[in-house]
Structure 1
Amino acid sequence: MKKLLFAILLTTIPSLTPAQSLPKEREYPLVVHVQSSRRVGEDKINNGYEFLSVVIEGKKYELESTHGDAILRTGDYRAKVSEYEHSRSYEYNMRYELLFPDGKTREYKVVGEEE
């Protein structure tokens, strides 16, 4: 009886289920393949900068973040564009938000592009 009551409770109150608390993958339509990760400028005052070499939709980028205190493992991560500005056809500013397996996210700024 307790198991049945618990199952009914979980299905009627969706905010209690763990899957509901994680961002949905469909909100992060892009796949970012992280090829390398490095940290620069870490000291006792700040965490420094994290730089990622990535491939997004076949194009190579370098991303930067000031968040986190460890090296991000290489591999594939879900992502979405969180900011895109272009006032001229030949330049732009862009940020991506990456979704990690535990449901946490981190924003990265595009600081380089390669062909």
Structure 2
Amino acid sequence: MAEKDELPVFFDRGVPDIIGYLHLSGLTIPQHILRAAEHYRYNRKVFILPPWQEIYVQDAERKQNFDVAVSTYQAMVRTYTDLSYELIEVPTGTIESRTRFILNQTAAIFGAF
């Protein structure tokens, strides 16, 4: 957050995800991507949602099968950890309980908003 009066901003994906996907694909990580990941930092605490077998479906947007989703999750955990982020795993549950968890954690990090 740039200013104290600004609200938190959530991103679905970030620069470190590029590194994770390149690792997953066995490709070399270009130096400019590594520099970007170091320069364009997010809050040190990052939410991560593990794959959830019971609700997982493949569709037009989600082309990975579940095994690849697990491998992707593991690559992201490794990448964000290597970049010194603290991961906050969002527990499974209803949409409402997951939303409440994220908002409560966000309030603990940033204070009331």
Q: Structure with the greater relative contact order (CA < 8 A, sep ≥ 6): 1 or 2?
A: 2
* TM-score normalised by length of structure 2: 0.25
Structure showing greater radius of gyration is 1
Structure with greater helix percent? 2
TM-score, scaled to structure 1: 0.25
Structure having the higher strand fraction is 1
